[in-house]
Structure 1
C-alpha cells in the first residue's frame, strides 16, 4: 500500500516536473514580427532580405525563434515602421536609408550622390567601421541596426533624352523622394527636382506632368516604367541601402544566446540578400531592354562627381566631418 502511494507521489512529481519543463520551453520561444513597406516577393530587394533573415534565424535557433512577416505597409509606412522600432511598438523592420536620416543626419552619408564606383565599395564601408559608427548612433536612439541590405544603384529614366553627361539632366523634371538631399542632387545637376509621393509618379510621367523618375532597377521594373518612359540611363548616382532594424527594447529582452543567433543570422541574411539581389537586377535589366526601353551606360562619371562636389561640401558638416572624411578616405 505504502509502495503504491510512493509510486503515485513520484508519478505526480514527475508529471509536475514535465509540465514545468514544457512551460519553460514554451516561454523560451520567441516570435519576431518583421514589417516592411513593399511586397513579400523574391523580386523585391526587401522581400529577398526578409526571407533570408527568416530562414537563417529559424534554422540557427532550431525553431526556437520564429519570424512572422508583415509586408505591404501592414504595420505602417516606412516612417511609421522606423518610429515603431524606435519606441518598441514594432519588433523589427526593413526601411530605406533616407528614413533614418530624419532621426540622425549621419545616415545621409549613405545617400550622397556619385560616392562609389561599384557596389563592393559600399558593402565594405557599411560592413566595416563606418557602418558600426552609424549603428551606434541608431542604438542610442533605441534602434538596433542588424545589417545593411541593398537595393542596388539608382538610375535615371526619362522621356527627354539619354543621360551621358550632367548637361543631359539640365531642365528635365525628375520625380524624387521627399528628401532634401535628393532634391539638392538633381538641382545641382541642372535638373528640376519634383518631390512626389511614389503612388502618384506613374500617372504624372504618363500625363507629362514630369519628364522622368529615378530609382533602382527593381523599383523601376515593378513600376513598369517601360510603359511610360523611353530612356533608362545607368547613372549609378546613389547606392541604395535598406537597413534591417530591431527595436532595442525587444532585443534587450532576448537571452544572450538568442541575441547571438539573431546577430549571426542577420550577417548571413545580408550576404545572401546581396547575392540574390544582384542576380535579380541583371535579370530585370535584361527584361526592361526586352520591353523596348533604350538603356545606356555612362562611360565617364567624373563630370557628375565634379558637378555634385559642392553638395558633398554642403552636407559634410551635417553628416559629421569626421565620419564623412573617414568614409571618403576608405573608398578612394
Structure 2
C-alpha cells in the first residue's frame, strides 16, 4: 500500500514537473540555412541557451530553412506569432523601411558595425523603431560581412575605371542604383542566372555578395575581387514582440542576453570566415584588392549623396536624417 502510494506521488510529481517545463514553449526558426549551416548552428545555440538558462521553465522547438515553408511564409508565421524568434533576412514586403538594412556605406568597418548594431547602438535603435511597428523586437545583427565587386578581365578601384564594367546586382532596390553611382553599368539578375550571365559575357561580374559566395559559386569565371564595402550584409536576431512582452523580466533578459552572445560570437566568426575565403581566393590564383581609406572615401561620399535621397520615399526622411547624423 505504501509502495503504491509512494509510486503514485513520484509519478504525479514527474507529471507536474513536465507540465511546468512545457508551460512555455518557444519556436525558433531561420529562413536561411539548414541545421549544419553557420546560421542553423547559431539558431540552435540561441535556442538551447534559452532552454538551459531557464532551468526547465522554457522548452524550445527549432526549425531550419524550408521546414515551415519558404522565406515569406515563415516570416508571415513570425509576424502572426506562430514563430517566436528568428535569425532572419526579412523582405521589405511588410514594411519598406526594412530596406535601411541595404543602406550603402552606413558603416565601413567591423568595429563600427558592432557599435551600431548591438543593443544601445544607433542602428539598433533605428531598426527597433521599424520592426516594432510590425510586431517584432530587434536584438542585433548576424553578419555575413562587407560586400565587394567580383569581375573577370578587368577591375576598378575608382568611379572612372568602373565605367566600362557591367556587373550583376540583386534585382532589388537600391542595389542597381548603388553600383551605378559607383560608376558601373548594372544588370539586375536573379541568383540562379548569375553564373551563366558571367560565363556568356552578359555581365563582367557580380556585385551583390561577400567573397564567400563569389568564391564558392563563381570563381571559375572570375579573376578579381575588390572589397568596395558598399553594403554590410547581415541577418537579424528578432523576437515576436507579443511573445516577448508576455514573458517575465527574467526570461526577457535571458532571451536578449543569449541573442547578444550569439551576435558577438558571430561578429568574430564572420571576420575569421571572411579572411579564410580571401585566403582561398588568392590561393586559387585570383587577385584580391582591399580599397584604402583614401580610395574608399570619394566613392562612399558620392554614393551617399546620390542614393540616400532616393531611399527617402521608402524609408522616410526622418530615418535617413538619423543615419546622416551618425555617419556625418
TM-score, normalised via structure 1 length: 0.84
Counterpart pick for 2:302 among 299, 307, 320: 307
Kept in 1: contact 2:29–2:63 (CA 8 A): yes
Taking the aligned partners of 2:288 and 2:14, their CA distance within structure 1 comes to 65
> What SS does structure 1 have at the residue aligned with 2:174?
helix
> What SS does structure 1 have at the residue aligned with 2:147?
strand
Shift of residue 136 of structure 1? Answer: 3.3
5 Å matches for 1:42-57? 44=38, 46-47=39-40, 49-57=42-50
1:18 is aligned to 13
2:116 is aligned to 125
2:222 pairs with 1:220: no
- Which protein is bigger by CA-based radius of gyration? 1
- The change in CA–CA distance for 1:65 and 1:12 in structure 2 (over 3 A counts) is closer
> What SS does structure 1 have at the residue aligned with 2:323?
helix
TM-score, normalised via structure 2 length: 0.85
Question: Which deviates more, 263-272 or 204-213?
Answer: 204-213
Kept in 2: contact 1:48–1:277 (CA 8 A): no
Once the two structures are superposed, residues 86-133 of structure 1 have per-residue CA deviations (whole angstroms, 9 ceiling, x without a partner) of 12343333223xx34333333333312223231222221222143123
2:295 pairs with 1:297: no
Residue segments in structure 1 that go unaligned for 5+ positions in a row: none
5 Å matches for 1:61-100? 61-62=54-55, 64-96=57-89, 99-100=90-91
2:174 is aligned to 181
Counterpart pick for 1:101 among 92, 98, 105: 92
Kept in 2: contact 1:143–1:247 (CA 8 A): yes
Once the two structures are superposed, residues 32-55 of structure 1 have per-residue CA deviations (whole angstroms, 9 ceiling, x without a partner) of 23122234445x4x3453244245
- The change in CA–CA distance for 1:302 and 1:158 in structure 2 (over 3 A counts) is same
Shift of residue 305 of structure 1? Answer: 2.1
1:324 is aligned to 320
Q: CA RMSD in A?
A: 2.8
1:203 is aligned to 196
Kept in 2: contact 1:34–1:92 (CA 8 A): yes
5 Å matches for 1:134-153? 134-153=127-146
1:115 is aligned to 106
Once the two structures are superposed, residues 52-89 of structure 1 have per-residue CA deviations (whole angstroms, 9 ceiling, x without a partner) of 42453244234654554433433334333323311234
Taking the aligned partners of 2:4 and 2:61, their CA distance within structure 1 comes to 42
Flag the structure with more relative contact order, 1 or 2, with Cα contacts below 8 A and sequence separation at least 6: 1
Once the two structures are superposed, residues 151-206 of structure 1 have per-residue CA deviations (whole angstroms, 9 ceiling, x without a partner) of 11011101141220012332433222221111211222332322222122122222
Question: Which deviates more, 240-249 or 284-293?
Answer: 240-249
- The change in CA–CA distance for 1:41 and 1:154 in structure 2 (over 3 A counts) is farther
- The change in CA–CA distance for 1:177 and 1:78 in structure 2 (over 3 A counts) is farther
1:194 is aligned to 187
> What SS does structure 1 have at the residue aligned with 2:231?
strand
Once the two structures are superposed, residues 197-219 of structure 1 have per-residue CA deviations (whole angstroms, 9 ceiling, x without a partner) of 21221222223222211211232
Shift of residue 31 of structure 1? Answer: 4.4
Residue segments in structure 2 that go unaligned for 5+ positions in a row: none
Taking the aligned partners of 2:265 and 2:3, their CA distance within structure 1 comes to 55
- The change in CA–CA distance for 1:65 and 1:281 in structure 2 (over 3 A counts) is farther
Taking the aligned partners of 2:41 and 2:10, their CA distance within structure 1 comes to 45
Question: Which deviates more, 85-94 or 156-165?
Answer: 85-94
